[in-house]
Chain A
Amino acid sequence: MNGSDIRITAEPVDNDRCKFVVSQAVYEGGVRRFASPAEAQGSPLAEAIFAIPGAGISEVVVSGSLVTVVKHSPTPWTAMGRPIGAAIRTALTAGTPAIATRAPAPPAGEAVDDDVLYERVAQLFASRVNPMVARHGGAVELIDVQDGVVMLRMGGGCQGCGMADVTLRQGIEAMLHEHVPGVEGIVDVTDHTAGSTPYFAAAKK
């Protein structure tokens, strides 16, 4: 495949966070989160994004056809979009896996922590979160927990909903902090542009 055949759409969430929706799968093994260049070793796509000069990349999350990039620098996404797009294209056309299939096994204690967290978060999602969002035709899928960070995907009425971020931050994240000590953060890996039944659709200017 030629790099020019790969379509990538950037969806900045804010000045720190941007989602890149890729026209083909980037990683089909669930979710991989890289919080440093060291963690990215062995995954060429993440390595290349961390290596962009002056970008101040702090996190790369890959899931399905979605690459979420987090930075803590004033560099605008204007300047970042093209090198990130180029890094994604180069990695996907190199002929080797763009993302290593699984992170190196962490020390036993940390693995247990994430596993324990996963179980608790899954239980909370099943018992509280999903029954609530179901009232709006929505669903929230727990993808993974890595280093205490919960990765989730929204579906149904939540996907593409104008109030999805309110649900995410004021609802789900708040409940996680309240009921599951140890959760460090939350990453939404939803492709909201693909939502076809949003509960609230933006209408006013």
Chain B
Amino acid sequence: MPRLLLLLPSTTYRATAFVEAARRLDVALTVASERPSAFERAQPEGLLTLDFSAPERAAAQVLQFAHEHPIAGVVGVDDDTVVAAAAIAARLGLRGNPAAAALAARDKHLQRELLAQHHVRAPAFALHRIDDDPAALARGVRYPCVLKPLRLSASRGVIRADNPDQFVSAFRRVAAILAEPDVAACGEPARRLLVEEFIEGPEVALEGLLVGGRLEVLALFDKPDPLDGPFFEETIYVTPSRLPRAAQTAIAATAQTASAALGLVEGAVHAELRWNAQGAWLIELAARPIGGRCSAVLRFGKGEGGRGQGTSLEEIVVRHALGMELPGLEREDAAAGVMMIPVPRRGVLREVRGIERARAVPLVVEVAITAHPGQQLVPLPEGARYPGFIFARGETPAEVEAALREAQRRLEFVVD
């Protein structure tokens, strides 16, 4: 039985999906996290603590571990763990991305430099330090622009500015976020930020799998809520995309070129792109699968009548990492969508009402409230947690989108 090493940060939404995928595939599993499990001493073969912030040290530790418990594949599930996974794969000779490529996917500045070198259409950018004078910088910036931390995810700390006053205000706000202890802990990257050109046009998310450098597009999601700022809160993802076929082809080609530019060759890819009269623009590319609980909308392997046979994204990722045969990578025929429920307002969550009414909306499959009573809800740009997710399936993307919106309307968050 091959053994999978799964790198799960303790704050992940992805534990259940990946653990269950490993169980379905009947593979031996070792879960590594950055904080010790209560059972690590009792189950040293199945649980490991690794410092994801020191990938080479983690790789050396895993090499020792693998002498006793051979590992056949490694999977990281988020931006930090994929860097550690790359180092581990290199050290153990496993399928994976070069460490430099994984680093480039995580570091937004390095990523933009490589995209520019390889002539991938991406926003013009400049790197600044948080102790630079924002008023002086504001005079030299082209507007509208977007200020963006180098390492944060879920649009945390991403702010649009249309003029110098907004720039100065946004700069100070981003600097304050970067000074928060959980962010400052990542060191030098938390002392810098990007200022980049704002790109007009609808945004899409591409979910893909790299196999030997070739990008297999698993799904293309439209984001029907305009992402024009000042904050960039992602809400609805719906697939299949309603963009013209030619646009979808160009978007996939851009994602493929961008992956190659970064040096990525194996594993899951999640890319954010925009589309306008000039073509496809690469906004972000991550060497990991889609985040949150969003992967639950994806089902692969067409059965009778085009219905998905139930292969999950996580199962595909695990199979690929272990070199197992891949099932059909074509998504089911049905349209599917997810809403990352926006934080209604800052405060302490007391209760969520209307869950059953939301579930009763035709086409809605699931309403999952992931915030717990007593949890502090923090909206963007400071926050990074969704209070929950809504999932829907239907014949067309339009009716799925409508169902998601109706379900959200029926939810009431009681926040003090």
Contacts and interface: CB of A to CB of B under 8 A. Distances in A.
Contacts of A102: none
A171 B365 contact: no
B310 A76 contact: yes
Interface in B29-86: 29, 31, 33, 35, 37-39, 42-43, 46-47, 78
A64 interface: no
A170 B310 CA distance: 24
Nearest to B311: A15
Interface residues of B, number: 54
A122 interface: no
Interface in B1-54: 8-13, 15-17, 19-21, 23-24, 29, 31, 33, 35, 37-39, 42-43, 46-47
Interface stretch (B134-142, B173-181, B207-215, B366-374): B366-374
B17 to A, nearest CB: 7
B312 A165 contact: no
A123 interface: no
A196 B356 contact: no
B359 interface: yes
B37 A9 contact: no
Contact of A170 (B13, B47, B309, B375): B47
B9 A204 contact: yes
Interface in B267-296: 291-292, 296
Interface in A1-52: 7-17, 23
Nearest to A131: B38
A174 B186 CA distance: 34
A170 B372 contact: no
A197 B374 CA distance: 8
Contacts of A77: 365-366
B11 to A, nearest CB: 4
A190 B21 CA distance: 21
B355 interface: yes
A74 B365 contact: no
Interface string B289-310: 0011000100100010001111
B120 interface: no
Given A10-B359, A10-B366, A202 B11 contact: yes
Contact of A201 (B20, B39, B372): B372
B160 interface: no
A78 interface: yes
Taking each of A162, A163, A165, A196, which has the highest tally of chain B beta carbons within 10 Å of its own beta carbon?
Answer: A163
Given A200-B10, A202-B370, A205-B292, A8 B38 contact: no
Contacts of A166: 8, 15, 19, 31, 33, 37, 47
A74 B305 CA distance: 12
A109 to B, nearest CB: 30
B95 interface: no
Interface in A151-205: 160, 162-167, 169-172, 174-175, 193, 195-198, 200-205
B163 interface: no
7 contacts: A12-B296, A12-B366, A13-B20, A128-B42, A202-B12, A202-B385, A205-B78
